[in-house]
């Protein structure tokens, strides 16, 4: 039996690709897939040679959400067993959302339920023009509870009300308009090209600064501009200016040369 998640070799640029690999079940979530994703995201986040992580799905779609057989089993769990099961999914989403490396989701075919959660956790997401999205949990008597912090952060409470309460399907263009995805490509090849352009921009940036910038967002989002917050942000830029990357980046800019983190084209 093939593994439910494939971790491809890290390429020469430092880009790792993770593929959801249950194409016969439309890459639906079960315990095993969740565990593999958590393991890979954790490991890749800790590797200094990794500069970015790409997530995609094998087969005809990105992910159809929860595996129905897995959900049928969960219906027979005790409250404590269901709680532990949900917390494993929550932990995986947190690892992906807070991964110190830049993350890119390439979405095609369909993304439902937990698949939408993964898209919302990615730093940048691109979908095919014919892609279909849905948060259809209420039609099964459930709610998109575990993924909700990330989806609401991505699309806002107003859009979440319309989608969480109705379970309606929505298009890739609607997903872009709401902020769930950043760009739309005509097909999978176009999606990959758009994603690669974003990766190129990330790779032109200092890896430590990129990681710090990602963490900075979580520290300032939704917070009032108090003296303490201003002090925190001042401390962060002061530390960056004094860092090896900061000094090298400014020096390279002033001397019109490339810093070490930018690959030599020649």
pLDDT at 266: 45
Considering only the C-alpha atoms of the chain, give the largest distance between any 2 of them, rounded to a whole number of Å. 66
Domain parsing of the chain, residue ranges:
5-203, 207-254
Q: What is the C-alpha to C-alpha distance for residues 116 and 98, in angstroms, rounded to an integer?
A: 17
Residues 29, 67: contact at Cβ < 8 Å?
A: yes
Q: Is the distance from CB of 191 to CB of 185 less than 8 angstroms? A: yes
Q: What angle do CA 17, 22, 28 make, to 5 degrees?
A: 105
Query: Whose structure tokens read 């959400």?
Result: 65
Euclidean distance between CA atoms 10 and 173, whole angstroms: 31
Decide if 57 contacts 27 (C-beta within 8 A): yes
Rounded Cα distance, 70 and 28, in Å = 9
Distance between CA atoms of residues 184 and 125, nearest Å: 9
Q: Strand pairing partners for 52?
A: 15
Task: Quote the CA–CA distance of 5 and 21 in Å, as a whole number.
Answer: 5
Q: Which of 119, 131, 134, 94 is nearest to 181 (CA)?
A: 119
Q: What is the pTM of this model?
A: 0.94
pLDDT tens over the chain, length 266 residues: 589 999 988 999 999 999 999 999 999 999 999 999 999 999 999 999 999 999 999 999 999 998 888 878 877 888 898 899 899 999 999 999 999 999 999 999 999 999 999 999 999 999 999 999 999 999 999 999 999 999 999 999 999 999 999 999 999 999 999 999 999 999 999 999 999 999 999 999 999 999 999 999 999 999 999 999 999 999 999 999 999 999 999 999 999 999 999 977 64
pLDDT number for residue 209: 97
Instruction: Taking the CA atoms of 93, 16, 135 and 141 in sequence, report the sign of the dihedral they define.
Output: negative
Domain 5-203: give its CATH superfamily: 2-enoyl-CoA Hydratase; Chain A, domain 1 (3.90.226.10)
Cα separations in angstroms, 152 against 144, 189, 233: 10, 29, 25
């Amino acid at each position: 039996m093939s593994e439910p998640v494939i971790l491809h070799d890290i390429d020469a640029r430092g880009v790792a690709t993770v593929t959801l690999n249950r194409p016969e079940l439309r890459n639906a979530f079960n315990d095993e897939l969740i565990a593999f994703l958590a393991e890979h995201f954790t490991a890749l986040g800790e590797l200094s040679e990794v500069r970015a992580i790409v997530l995609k799905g094998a087969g005809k779609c990105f992910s159809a959400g929860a595996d129905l057989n897995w959900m049928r089993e969960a219906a027979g769990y005790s409250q404590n067993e269901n709680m532990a099961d949900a917390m494993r999914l929550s932990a995986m989403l947190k690892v992906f959302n807070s991964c110190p490396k830049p993350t890119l989701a390439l979405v095609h075919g369909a993304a439902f339920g937990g698949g939408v959660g993964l898209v919302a956790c990615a730093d940048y997401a691109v979908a095919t023009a014919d892609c279909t999205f849905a948060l259809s949990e209420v039609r099964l008597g459930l709610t998109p509870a575990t993924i909700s912090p990330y989806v609401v952060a991505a699309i806002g409470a107003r859009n979440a009300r319309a989608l969480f309460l109705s379970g309606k399907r929505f298009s890739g263009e609607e997903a872009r308009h709401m902020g769930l995805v950043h760009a739309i490509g005509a097909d999978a090849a176009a999606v990959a090209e758009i994603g690669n352009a974003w990766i190129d921009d990330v790779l032109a940036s200092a890896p430590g600064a990129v990681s710090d910038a990602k963490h900075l967002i979580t520290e300032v989002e939704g917070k009032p501009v108090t003296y303490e917050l201003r002090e925190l942000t001042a401390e962060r830029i002061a530390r960056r200016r004094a860092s090896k990357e900061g000094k090298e980046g400014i020096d390279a800019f002033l001397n019109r040369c490339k810093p070490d983190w930018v690959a030599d084209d020649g």
